[in-house]
Structure 1
Amino acid sequence: MATRQEVIFKLGGEEYGLDIMKVYGIEKYHQVTKIPNTPEYIEGIINLRGEVHPIYNLRKKFKMPEKPIDDETKMIIVNSNEMMIGFIVDAVIEIRHIEEENIKPAPRLISGIDRRYITGVAKIDDRMVILLDVDLILEEEEKKEMSQVLEENA
């Protein structure tokens, strides 16, 4: 049976998954340097191991209510179309193999999140996990804008 390995994380009351092949690392929350004139869901940039990475707040991106940063808050660093970016999430739960037969297409109605970002919904034990496509979370225009910001701050 074919399986996928996913990093499962919590955001709001839901669980989401990212393909582990796109994940560069999972970090404790770091204070970010704010960048003026960027969309509100871009928290800023961090310097991680000598590299500057933009940091996105997925709660803001998905139009969820804000939550204070706490000890569970993590940054998932991913490779999205050759750009390393970080996503702030409420908590990382586990890294899990998911059998393809347990992954179903996304239903038409999923509140709060654009269906274009979703590759499917996985059943893990008695839980449902929404699987996201790292490369589609950022719009092309956002990627261009962020590349320009990174060049200016390099």
Structure 2
Amino acid sequence: MEEVMTKTIIFKLNDQEYGANIGQILSIERLQEIVALPQTSDFIKGIINLRGKVTPIIDLRTRLGIEELEATEQTRILIANVRNIQVGLIVDEATDVIDITNDLVEETPELVSDVDHRYLKGVAKLEDRGMLLLLDLDHVLSYEELDEVQQVIDE
């Protein structure tokens, strides 16, 4: 089987390292003031104006059922393309971009950590960093939630 390399952005939530395909990440931004929106899901923190484009901000901790923390100097917003909608994902810090070969990735065990396994593509076992949970950004939001996000943008 041919080895496929995937460029992966590494970020942290709660001291656990996660990875996502860099192809979906448009930019990494410092945390900025977020305009809160009434009557949206608790993980939709609000919107920001990013270079003239209204961008909904998702708290990835809340979304994945991880306890919320105060933002720090390291807190970042990953601007991602999720099913053709630009969203910002708040992470504790963005640390690295690495190549992961498909032979290092295993299916996600049902019992892995606190994160719903539907959101995960797999687990990469890396010699120098241990276990890396690979997020499937296209499944972090359901179609209904993406509709909610789209309505936020359209208003």
Which TM-score band (shorter chain)?
A: over 0.9
Q: Does 1:145 align with 2:148?
A: yes
Which amino acid in the other structure matches residue 131 of structure 2?
Answer: M
RMSD of aligned residue pairs (Cα, Å): 0.9
Matches within 5 A, 1:9-48: 9-48=11-50
CA-to-partner distance for each residue in 1:80-136, whole Å, 9 max, x for gaps? 011000100001110000111111111111232111111110122241100011110
Instruction: Report the alpha carbon displacement of residue 13 of structure 1 after superposing the two structures with TM.
Output: 2.3
* Number of residue equivalences: 152
Query: Could you tell me how far apart the structure 1 residues matched to 2:148 and 2:91 are?
Result: 22
Counterpart secondary structure, 1:65: coil
Which amino acid in the other structure matches residue 115 of structure 1?
Answer: H
Counterpart secondary structure, 1:68: coil
Query: Could you tell me how far apart the structure 1 residues matched to 2:15 and 2:73 are?
Result: 17
Matches within 5 A, 1:51-62: 51-62=53-64
Taking structure 2 as the reference length, the TM-score comes to 0.95
Which amino acid in the other structure matches residue 62 of structure 2?
Answer: K
Instruction: Report the alpha carbon displacement of residue 2 of structure 1 after superposing the two structures with TM.
Output: 1.7
Which residue is equivalent to 2:79?
77
Query: Could you tell me how far apart the structure 1 residues matched to 2:65 and 2:139 are?
Result: 16
Instruction: Report the alpha carbon displacement of residue 138 of structure 1 after superposing the two structures with TM.
Output: 0.3
Which residue is equivalent to 1:105?
107
Which residue is equivalent to 1:128?
131
Query: Could you tell me how far apart the structure 2 residues matched to 1:134 and 1:43 are?
Result: 17
Instruction: Report the alpha carbon displacement of residue 65 of structure 1 after superposing the two structures with TM.
Output: 1.4
Structure 2 runs not aligned, ≥5 long: none
Query: Could you tell me how far apart the structure 2 residues matched to 1:82 and 1:91 are?
Result: 24
Which residue is equivalent to 2:8?
6
Which amino acid in the other structure matches residue 137 of structure 1?
Answer: V
CA-to-partner distance for each residue in 1:48-106, whole Å, 9 max, x for gaps? 01101100001111121121111000000100011000100001110000111111111
More displaced stretch, 61-70 vs 133-142: 61-70
Same amino acid, percent of matched pairs = 38
